[in-house]
Structure 1
């Protein structure tokens, strides 16, 4: 698969089979992630792989409570609250694995660096026939002391990209794209 096919075909997957993702496959995805560019070649990322479903449930519950307590006037708050209050809603969609990319070194561009690594990981997952989804619901909670403790993360790490990985239950349909606004200078 060429990179254009991966870019245009990758979708956020939210329904997975129970089939586990082999550790060597996750290793290959992380290898793709570390080939991302980073500011001044700092490569500030660290990876936490979670395959324990009890740990994922614990983080899901903690993240839901944290979001409900802190979301304030978010424009999507009403939509989010209905999901977050649902005891059966699992923010990780019962995916067999979570790969959390954290900034392990301080620097002004760790978020951008880790996001670039995350995109590489998701494209590599798609090319390997896997689904992925960046779980924004987990981000704020994982940056709290309780969230870091749930996964045993060092206090100095900054969790940036919680990405679930798994075998999709079915193909995800393409989402229409808006025409970009483009301004040419020169």
Structure 2
């Protein structure tokens, strides 16, 4: 295992945060990780919002149905994609994952909260004053984790196959 695979394997969703702020330099570096994600035809159709005020965090949390903990995060990233770009959803999901891994590499916990296809997506877009040409793809609340834990995962052998799937 190398440092990159260790970061990937060590990442897990965090929903409880310390009240400490997240350093701006770290935020910028994690965003740089996001914008270096793979993107179809290099179109880079994303727009990434950084929400840090308690008032806005609480408003976003209130709009979601599974993200009430956003109110307690130090920061929440809102990843939007240009609706008219064919693969904006895939591209923005790749950017979201890169952002999450970039944060985790600094010890900042986060949790991917669904945005695309959710009833509150348009409300979040309007709240953040994002132009209509963008659609919300994901919300990523982040902060220093209140506690460190390791998430259990399914046995890899049960989730992969080589060359051709064979039913047991």
TMscore range, shorter length: 0.7 to 0.9
Q: CA RMSD in A?
A: 1.9
Say yes or no: does 1:107 pair with 2:82. Answer: no
Q: Is the 8 A contact 1:92 1:135 kept in 2?
A: no
2:27 match: 26
Q: What is the CA-CA distance between 1:141 and the residue it aligns to?
A: 4.2
1:76 match: none
2 CA distance for matches of 1:135 and 1:20? Answer: 20
2:7 match: 6
Count the aligned residue pairs. 160
Q: 4+ residue stretches of structure 1 with deviation over 3 A?
A: none
TM-score by length of 1: 0.79
1 CA distance for matches of 2:63 and 2:137? Answer: 17
Q: What is the CA-CA distance between 1:3 and the residue it aligns to?
A: 1.2
2:136 pairs, out of 145, 159, 173, with 159
Q: Is the 8 A contact 1:115 1:160 kept in 2?
A: yes
- Unpaired segments ≥5 residues, structure 2: none
Higher relative contact order (CA 8 A, sep 6+): 1
Say yes or no: does 1:44 pair with 2:21. Answer: no
1:169 match: 146
1:122-133 aligned at under 5 Å gives the runs 122-133=100-111
2:160 match: 181
1 CA distance for matches of 2:83 and 2:4? Answer: 29
Q: Is the 8 A contact 1:142 1:159 kept in 2?
A: no
Q: What is the CA-CA distance between 1:181 and the residue it aligns to?
A: 3.4
2 CA distance for matches of 1:135 and 1:105? Answer: 19
2 CA distance for matches of 1:160 and 1:6? Answer: 24
Q: Is the 8 A contact 1:12 1:133 kept in 2?
A: yes
1:81 match: none
Say yes or no: does 1:94 pair with 2:95. Answer: no
Q: Mean alpha-carbon deviation: is it higher for 166-175 or for 8-17? A: 166-175
Q: Is the 8 A contact 1:141 1:147 kept in 2?
A: no
TM-score by length of 2: 0.86
2 CA distance for matches of 1:62 and 1:4? Answer: 35
